[in-house]
Copies of this chain bind each other. A is one copy, B any other.
């Protein structure tokens, strides 16, 4: 009884017969696969070029022609693109993990390191001053670096003396410099110091001042983000229980280069700045390229907070984080 039951309206659903299907497919092959022009096709089939255009349009719409964009499987171009647009990034890379690795944070971090190494090989140019923060992600980056333009490498923060693996912080920096055949400026000092005076003194130490003095000339920085919880942030782990609670109350949910941010990306602990040995947020904001590495959904909110600072123009992350960032 409805209007659509009328035989003619069925023409909208238009059930194409085999002849039409075959001809449409032939035209599609000519156009998409053989690269013929629509005008040539029109001549071959005795149609107007407009008819050809409309037929091909319909063929794509009806799925007769499938246009598929697929990256080498380990990268998710769709999420990358969405993030890039959403957060106005210049670089946005979302990598995929095989299902069996998705639950193994170490595996995910390794993948992150590998992808980041590729990115650096691509975007670092001769005479760049490359700054690397510390973090498990940077540790994973080190061994993956195999190609890099001639550049200097500067360590952007001190190490946390709590874990033996921290040697890798410096190791990654050295490795990068070695690959880059350029000078290296490591920081052999703790990240968090008891007071501003000590920090200030260390900043002037030979061997450290060489790195620190370059913080305002970094051209490309690679930064990680920590979440406000045990094992998720070097600063968190280094603070006393009272301090942790204090900053929690102030809304700290992310740690970037030793600075604590709330969900809006505001620095909630400016006074800490004097006690840490790391590139400042101001210096970062002067750095032309700042890449944020973030893996693991546990760091999703922290990553969102970090992005809100507007400091970052690049992001490398996994699909899990990417999906939360877009939700």
- A6, A22, A29, A95 pick with most chain B CB within 10 angstroms: A22
Q: Does A209 contact B (CB under 8 A)?
A: no
Given contacts A29-B81, A81-B26, contact A21 B70 (CB under 8 A): no
Question: How many Å lie between the Cα of A75 and that of B92 in the bound state?
Answer: 42
Chain B residues near A297: list those with CB within 8 A.
none
Q: Produce 1/0 per residue, A66-84, CB < 8 A to B.
A: 1111111001011011001
- A18, A64, A123, A149 pick with most chain B CB within 10 angstroms: A18
Chain B residues near A64: list those with CB within 8 A.
69-71
Chain B residues near A316: list those with CB within 8 A.
18
Question: How many Å lie between the Cα of A115 and that of B16 in the bound state?
Answer: 12
Given contacts A8-B124, A18-B122, A125-B8, contact A25 B81 (CB under 8 A): yes
Please give me the residue from chain B that is nearest to A80 by CB atom: B22
Chain B residues near A124: list those with CB within 8 A.
8
One of B7, B25, B94 near A125 (C-beta < 8 A): B7
One of B6, B119, B125, B126 near A18 (C-beta < 8 A): B119
Given contacts A29-B77, A81-B29, A122-B20, contact A10 B147 (CB under 8 A): yes
- A19, A28, A71, A125 pick with most chain B CB within 10 angstroms: A19
Q: Does A50 contact B (CB under 8 A)?
A: no
The answer to whether A7 and B75 touch across the interface, beta carbons within 8 angstroms, is no
Q: Does A121 contact B (CB under 8 A)?
A: yes
Q: Does A17 contact B (CB under 8 A)?
A: yes
Question: How many Å lie between the Cα of A19 and that of B120 in the bound state?
Answer: 9
One of B18, B22, B121, B147 near A81 (C-beta < 8 A): B22
Chain B residues near A70: list those with CB within 8 A.
64, 66
Chain B residues near A18: list those with CB within 8 A.
75, 93, 95, 115, 118-119, 122, 316
Q: Does A259 contact B (CB under 8 A)?
A: no
Question: How many Å lie between the Cα of A19 and that of B6 in the bound state?
Answer: 51
Q: Whole-angstrom distance from the CB of A239 to the nearest CB of chain B? A: 35
Question: How many Å lie between the Cα of A270 and that of B175 in the bound state?
Answer: 88
List 16 additional contacts besides A19-B122, A22-B92; criterion CB under 8 Å: A7-B125, A8-B124, A8-B125, A18-B115, A18-B316, A19-B93, A21-B72, A22-B71, A22-B80, A29-B69, A29-B81, A33-B67, A64-B71, A66-B69, A66-B70, A68-B68
- Residues of chain A touching chain B, judged by Cβ–Cβ distance below 8 Å, are 6-8, 10, 16-22, 25-26, 28-29, 32-33, 64-72, 75, 77-78, 80-81, 84, 91-95, 115, 118-119, 121-126, 147, 149, 316
User: Which 6 A-B residue pairs are closest in the complex by CB-CB distance?
Assistant: A25-B77, A17-B122, A26-B81, A66-B68, A32-B67, A17-B118
Q: List 15 A-B contacts (CB under 8 A).
A: A7-B122, A7-B123, A8-B121, A16-B122, A17-B121, A18-B119, A18-B316, A22-B77, A25-B77, A25-B81, A32-B67, A64-B69, A65-B68, A66-B67, A66-B70
